[in-house]
């Protein structure tokens, strides 16, 4: 399969599909992004196994996996490492720089086709930047963010944005203000009705 990014990948576009080998429960399995239709997907890229910032992100997402699963969401981690490197990293203890058993798949992008399709490949470094995409159950990208290599992402913020995406998709007449969390006030995107929100805050 070939992967082709048509210009800049944008929110609102269909997420590029891929078929790749992943490590799932310490086994090699072939997965397709399109197999997750009907679920939300948090797809995140990281530079390399056996590095420094990466294990903090990977274990943080694994430790919170149940919170994502409860709201019909799967997590997929992707790097340009082989599945053999992924397996060795998973089989390494966290106290020794490994990640231990994970609650979600680590995908091998050794040909760098997936990271290229998502426009996160740093060609000079030969690795993926810290790209993160929230893909809805119809396969459409609803959120995208890319960090440089030196600093990690926030699981709480990813979960918050995911919850906001799900809320507005199930409440099409409402929008979520800055920093919105479940249970807080939303607003109606109307010049008159929106004043109710502003008056209340």
Mean pLDDT of 111-116: 97
Question: Which residue in the list 15, 43, 54, 155 is annotated as catalytic?
Answer: 54
Query: What are the E-state strand segments in the chain?
Result: 19-24, 27-32, 40-45, 73-79, 106-108, 121-122, 127-128, 130-135, 141-147
Mean pLDDT of 90-94: 92
Residue 6's pLDDT is what? 44
Most confident of 90-104, 127-141, 171-185: 127-141
Please indicate whether residue 198 or residue 96 has the higher confidence score (pLDDT). Answer: 96
User: What are phi and psi for residue 27, nearest 5 degrees?
Assistant: -125, 155
Mean pLDDT of 65-78: 98
The rounded mean pLDDT for the chain is 92
Please tell me the distance from the alpha carbon of residue 120 to that of residue 172, in angstroms, as a whole number.
Answer: 31
Between the alpha carbon of residue 95 and those of residues 59, 101, 145, the distances in Å are 12, 13, 29
Residue 8's pLDDT is what? 64
What torsion, rounded to 10 degrees, do the Cα atoms 188, 193, 195, 201 define? -50
- Confidence class for position 7, pLDDT limits 50, 70, 90: low
Region of poorest pLDDT, from 28-42, 143-157, 165-179, 181-195: 181-195
Please indicate whether residue 155 or residue 4 has the higher confidence score (pLDDT). Answer: 155
Say if residue 2's pLDDT is above 90: no
Could you give the percent of the chain with pLDDT greater than 70?
Answer: 96
54 is catalytic: yes
Residue 179: strand, helix, or coil: coil
Say if residue 195's pLDDT is above 80: no
At 18-60, the pLDDT tens digits run 999 999 999 999 999 999 999 999 999 999 999 888 788 999 9
């Amino acid at each position: 399969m070939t992967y082709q990014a048509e210009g800049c990948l944008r929110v609102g576009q269909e997420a590029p599909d891929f078929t790749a080998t992943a490590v799932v429960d310490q086994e090699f399995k072939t997965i397709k992004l399109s197999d997750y239709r009907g679920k939300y997907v948090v797809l995140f890229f990281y530079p390399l196994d056996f590095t420094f910032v990466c294990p903090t992100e990977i274990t943080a997402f694994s430790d919170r996996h149940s919170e994502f699963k409860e709201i019909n969401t799967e997590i997929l981690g992707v790097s340009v490492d082989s599945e053999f490197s992924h397996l060795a990293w998973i089989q390494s203890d966290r106290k020794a720089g490994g990640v231990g058993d994970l609650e979600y798949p680590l995908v091998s992008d050794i040909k760098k086709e997936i990271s290229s399709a998502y426009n996160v490949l740093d060609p000079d470094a030969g690795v993926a930047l810290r790209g993160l995409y929230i893909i809805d159950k119809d396969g459409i990208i609803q959120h995208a963010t890319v960090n440089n290599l030196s600093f990690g992402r926030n699981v709480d913020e990813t979960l918050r944005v995911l919850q906001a995406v799900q809320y507005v998709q199930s409440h099409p007449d409402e929008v979520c203000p800055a920093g919105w969390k479940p249970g807080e006030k939303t607003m109606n995107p109307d010049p008159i009705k929106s004043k109710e929100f502003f008056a209340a805050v």
